[in-house]
Structure formats: C-alpha cells, structure tokens
C-alpha cells in the first residue's frame, strides 16, 4: 500500500481529497473537529517535506450552492488545527482556482470550495475529475468517509495520476485496522452487532461469520431473533419479515462453530420516553404494552464474560437506546468492558455512527484501539465489498 510516507513532496503540490464533512452550529461554527484533526498528520507530512497542499472536500448535501454549506466556515478551525493560515478559494474549478494554485508556494495550504456545489462531483463526471486533476502533482486520497462513493474526486480522478497517487495516513490506517479484524489470527474474535434492524446489518453478519468466534447481538435487532425463537417481546421493535432470516443466521453460525450471544433480560418501558415507567424483564417474556429499550444486568454480565476472554473485538451498534439516559447503561457498560479488554491486550475496533457517538459520550475514545471515522465505508468493507475510492488508488491506469 503506497502512502504519503513513500513520497518526497519537496516542491510538489499534493491534491488531497479530505473528508471535512463536519458538523456546524446555527452560526456556522465547527462543533466537532475530529475529522479535521484526523487529516492533520497527512497534511503536516507534506508540508514538512517542503510541499504544498490543495485540499478538496464536500460539506453536507447542498442543492444549489447554499452559503450554509460553504467550506469557508471551516477555514479558521482548520488553520488553528494545522498551525498554518489556510488560503480559501470560493470555487472548485475555473480561473480563480487555477490562479490560486499557480500562486501556491511550498508550505502553503489551499482549500477549495465544496465539491458538491457541482453536481458533476456526485455523478462521477470524468471531465470534472480531469479539471480537478490539474491542481496537483500527486493525488492523495485521505477521505475514508467517502471511499465507498464512486464520485469524481474519490474514484475517477485517480485515473489522471497513473503513477502519482497514494493513500493519506488516515485512510491507510482505516484500511489496516479493518483488515486486522477481518484477517485476525488473534483469537477469540468477537463481533458486537447492535442497532435497530437486522436488515441493515445482515450482509455484515454473513461476511464475518467465517472470521469470528463469538457474535453478540444487541439493540432493537435482538428482538427479531428472540421472537423468531418463540419469545414474547411485547411492543418491542421487530422486523416481522426477517424472522426466518434470523433463524437462518443462527443455524449458519452454529454450523460454523460461532457462539451467538443474545440478551437474556431487558430494561423494559411502557413508553419510548425518559419519563416512562421501567422494570427488568426476561427478554422472552415481555408483557403486552411494554418494550425492551436496554439490556438488563444479567445480559451485561454475560457480555462482559465474553469480552474478557476476547483478543480481537469489533463493535458496531449500541445495545440500547443510549441517547436516552434511562436506557444508556447497557451500552455504557459494554463500552467500559471493551475498554477493559483493550487494556488487557485485546485489539478493539469501533465503527459506525452510533457506536462512535457512544464511545465519545462515555469518554472511551482513547481507551479502545481504533475508532473508525467512516461509518458507511467501514460497514461496506466489513461486508466484503471493494470500495471505489480505495480500488482507484491501488489500480494502475
């Protein structure tokens, strides 16, 4: 895998696809600069070599070049993070950009306007990609969050750099860490798959069953498995049409020697609300009108035992409605047990929006081995798919 560490950028312009799709408040201030910080090592390496950086990214899903989606809003945060005053050009292609790039000197950073102000970006337009390609000597893809999209700046543009393309340090790290789970010899390997629906996680489960020893299933999706086995789940979330699939997964897992761990008890509530009445119930005997919104204490203990003896852990999806304080305990304890296993030598990978939000909420980000920045991209890698943005950098044109 060729990365920025394999290239000397002295007097070269690096055209870097970054993922600066960061959250902004009502005043357009950056509220979380995690993705900006994640791109910093790549940018600094190029500057320290004596090169310059032309950064391109998208922000949100603009329909018509709305000012709220301008990347100008992130310039101050980006400049502060890197320690270099970033030059901003209010376009992605055209004469203004050409002039700004021509005037760019070693040690300087130029940020282009939101790529999605041009519909050609998401359409993967070749002419648009070629115009962008003129702004650098070397193409660097460091945007894992968009690596699963065949967009002009992530997949098509690489064709115009047959010999001069590489991965940024963040994207290289993401690839390596997902591979660590998928190709791990550090057994037992445990995957925790949570969240609301079986249907959104089925391909991941099918792809990883050959590679894991334990599968922990939590969150709303667990109730489809419980009901499929004849359990009473009250008003809990269920995908009625996925019960046969749930049984099939259990059967395949058994045949492959994978131990599946489902919740045995739940914190149940009479409404989806912080103000709801709650009690603990066996997971397969929930009264009508009540719903399971978190795992119970016995389940926490069972999951803790599995994690304590695991050497490789993948966590994707919460085991309860952790956004509501009343139903956050199970996900919090799970995260703490993953952190404990990590401290004892296990490798732990956390990915997918809700899991990342959970480790941040419970201050566990620096207590696990790796937190993935790309939810959809990581999930597609776990599903065994080839990501267009990654394939484009590997391939010879």
Query: Is residue 194 marked as binding?
Result: no
376 is annotated as an active-site residue: yes
Query: Is residue 21 marked as binding?
Result: yes
Query: Is residue 337 marked as binding?
Result: no
Q: Which entry of 96, 353, 361, 367 is annotated as an active-site residue?
A: 353
Q: Which entry of 35, 45, 211, 242 is annotated as an active-site residue?
A: 35
Backbone angles phi, psi at 188, to 5 degrees: -70, 145
Query: Is residue 61 marked as binding?
Result: yes
Q: What is the DSSP string of 31-67?
A: S--HHHHHHHHHHHHHHHHT-EEEEE---S--SS--G
Q: CA distances (Å), 341 to each of 46, 211, 261, 355, 373, in order?
A: 36, 19, 18, 17, 22
Query: Is residue 58 marked as binding?
Result: yes
Query: Is residue 324 marked as binding?
Result: no
Q: Which entry of 96, 126, 197, 326 is annotated as an active-site residue?
A: 197
Query: Is residue 261 marked as binding?
Result: no
Query: Is residue 345 marked as binding?
Result: no
Closest by CA to 41, choosing from 376, 373, 317, 389, is 373
345 is annotated as an active-site residue: no
Query: Is residue 375 marked as binding?
Result: no
Contact at 8 Å (CB) between 238 and 227? yes
Cα atoms in the 13 Å half-sphere on the side-chain side of 257:
6
Question: Three-state SS string across 250-305, please?
Answer: HHHHHHCCCEEECCCEEEEECCCCCCCCEEEEECCEECCCCEEEEECHHHHHHHHH
The residues near 345 (Cβ < 8 Å, ≥ 6 apart) are 311
Query: Is residue 59 marked as binding?
Result: yes
Query: Is residue 28 marked as binding?
Result: no
Query: Is residue 126 marked as binding?
Result: no
Backbone angles phi, psi at 307, to 5 degrees: -65, -35
353 is annotated as an active-site residue: yes
256 is annotated as an active-site residue: no
Across-strand partners of 281? Answer: 266
Query: Is residue 320 marked as binding?
Result: no
Across-strand partners of 214? Answer: 190, 259
Distance between CA atoms of residues 70 and 62, nearest Å: 9
Query: Is residue 149 marked as binding?
Result: yes
Q: In the chain, how many H helices and how many E strands?
A: 14, 17
Q: Which 8-state DSSP code applies to residue 163?
A: S
Cβ–Cβ contacts within 10 Å for residue 200, how many?
15
Across-strand partners of 88? Answer: 111
For the annotated binding site, the residues are 19-21, 35, 58-61, 116, 149, 201, 292, 323, 352-355
For the annotated binding site for substrate, the residues are 19-21, 35, 58-61, 116, 149
Would you please indicate which residues are annotated as catalytic (active-site) residues?
35, 197, 353, 376
For the annotated binding site for ATP, the residues are 201, 292, 323, 352-355
């Amino acid at each position: 895998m060729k990365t920025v560490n394999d290239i000397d950028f002295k007097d070269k312009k690096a055209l870097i696809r970054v993922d600066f799709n960061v959250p902004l408040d009502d005043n357009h201030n950056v509220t979380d600069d995690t993705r900006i910080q994640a791109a910093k090592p790549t940018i600094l390496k190029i500057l320290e070599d004596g090169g310059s950086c032309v950064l391109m990214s998208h922000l949100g899903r603009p329909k018509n070049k709305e000012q709220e989606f301008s990347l100008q809003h992130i310039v101050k945060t980006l400049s502060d993070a890197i320690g270099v005053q970033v030059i901003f050009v209010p376009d992605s292609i055209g004469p203004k950009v050409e002039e700004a790039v021509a005037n760019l000197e070693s040690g300087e950073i130029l940020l282009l306007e939101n790529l999605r102000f041009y519909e050609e970006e998401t359409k993967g337009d070749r002419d648009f990609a070629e115009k962008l390609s003129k702004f650098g000597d070397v193409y660097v893809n460091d945007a894992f969050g968009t690596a699963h999209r065949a967009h002009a700046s992530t997949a098509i543009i690489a064709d115009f750099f047959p010999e001069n393309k590489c991965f940024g340090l963040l994207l290289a790290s993401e690839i390596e860490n997902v591979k660590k789970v998928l190709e791990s010899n550090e057994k037992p390997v445990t995957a925790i798959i949570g969240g609301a629906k079986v249907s959104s996680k089925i391909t991941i489960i099918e792809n990883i069953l050959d590679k894991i020893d334990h599968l922990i299933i939590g969150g709303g999706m667990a109730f489809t498995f419980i009901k499929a086995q004849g359990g009473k789940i009250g008003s809990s979330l269920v995908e009625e049409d996925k019960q046969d699939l749930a049984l099939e997964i259990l059967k395949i897992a058994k045949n492959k020697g994978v131990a599946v761990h489902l919740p045995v008890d739940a914190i149940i509530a009479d409404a989806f609300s912080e103000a709801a009445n709650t009690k603990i119930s066996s997971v397969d005997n929930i009264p009508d009108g009540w719903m399971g919104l978190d795992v119970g204490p016995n389940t926490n203990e069972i999951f803790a035992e599995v994690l304590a003896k695991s050497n490789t852990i993948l966590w994707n999806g919460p085991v309860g409605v952790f956004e509501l304080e009343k139903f956050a305990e199970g996900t919090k304890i799970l995260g703490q047990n993953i952190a404990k296993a990590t401290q004892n030598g296990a490798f732990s990978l956390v990915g997918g929006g809700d899991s990342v939000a959970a480790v941040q909420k419970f201050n566990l980000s620096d207590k696990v081995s790796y937190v993935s920045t790309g939810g959809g991209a990581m999930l597609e890698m776990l599903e065994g798919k080839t990501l267009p943005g990654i394939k484009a950098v590997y391939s010879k044109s």
